[in-house]
């Protein structure tokens, strides 16, 4: 049985580079289309880092963009574009931790800012250019 699993794993590994290249293509399109959208930011490529492009988080500045992360999330969802509100809800907001002093929002300002502003855009190696364009059109006003 271990030989069968090993053979299956080796077959899957052959597809990894192709999948990463496809996700990179989507990430490049997202970056190019969103780079000048006021109130939308994202991480730049990091020199020397080999990315797998599994996620494409954007950060929504409500004042600059004109709507909150949640408003954009629901706008996308209404158009059948399924982003993810990452770090939502924060673990510190779970009933198990909520009462702890260390979980107080004042003690976790960066975590709350990230949780309140981030959406991970759809990212998959089978996303078509049309799929990516639909995502972009939801965000670009």
HSE, side-chain direction, 13 A CA sphere, residue 50 = 3
CB-count burial class (<10 Å; 0-12, 13-18, 19+) for 117: buried
> In which band, very low, low, confident or very high, does the pLDDT at 122 lie, cut at 50, 70 and 90?
very high
Cα 71 to Cα 74: distance, rounded to the nearest angstrom: 5
> In which band, very low, low, confident or very high, does the pLDDT at 139 lie, cut at 50, 70 and 90?
very high
| pLDDT confidence of residue 141 | 75
pTM of the model: 0.85
CB-count burial class (<10 Å; 0-12, 13-18, 19+) for 118: buried
Q: What is the pLDDT of residues 27-86, one digit of tens each?
A: 999 999 999 999 999 999 889 999 999 999 999 999 999 999 999 999 999 999 999 998
| pLDDT confidence of residue 13 | 75
Residue 61 phi/psi, 5° resolution?
-90, 105
The label of the residue with tokens 């899957």 reads 12
Residue 1 has pLDDT above 70, yes or no: no
Cα 7 to Cα 11: distance, rounded to the nearest angstrom: 6
CA distances from 55 to 17, 32, 77 (A): 16, 16, 18
Q: What is the pLDDT of residues 98-116, one digit of tens each?
A: 999 999 999 999 999 999 9
Cα 31 to Cα 41: distance, rounded to the nearest angstrom: 9
């Amino acid at each position: 049985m271990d030989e069968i699993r090993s053979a299956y794993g080796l077959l899957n590994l052959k597809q990894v580079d192709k999948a990463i290249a496809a996700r990179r293509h989507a990430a490049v399109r997202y970056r190019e289309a969103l780079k000048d959208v006021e109130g939308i930011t994202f991480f730049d490529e990091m020199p020397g880092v080999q990315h797998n492009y599994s996620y494409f988080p954007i950060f929504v500045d409500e004042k600059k963009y004109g709507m909150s992360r949640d408003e954009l999330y629901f706008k996308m969802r209404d158009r059948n574009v399924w982003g993810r509100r990452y770090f939502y809800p924060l673990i510190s907001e779970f009933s198990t931790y909520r009462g702890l002093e260390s979980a107080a929002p004042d003690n976790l300002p960066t975590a709350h800012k990230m949780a309140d502003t981030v959406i991970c855009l759809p990212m998959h190696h089978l996303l078509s250019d049309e799929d990516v364009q639909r995502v972009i059109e939801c965000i670009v006003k």
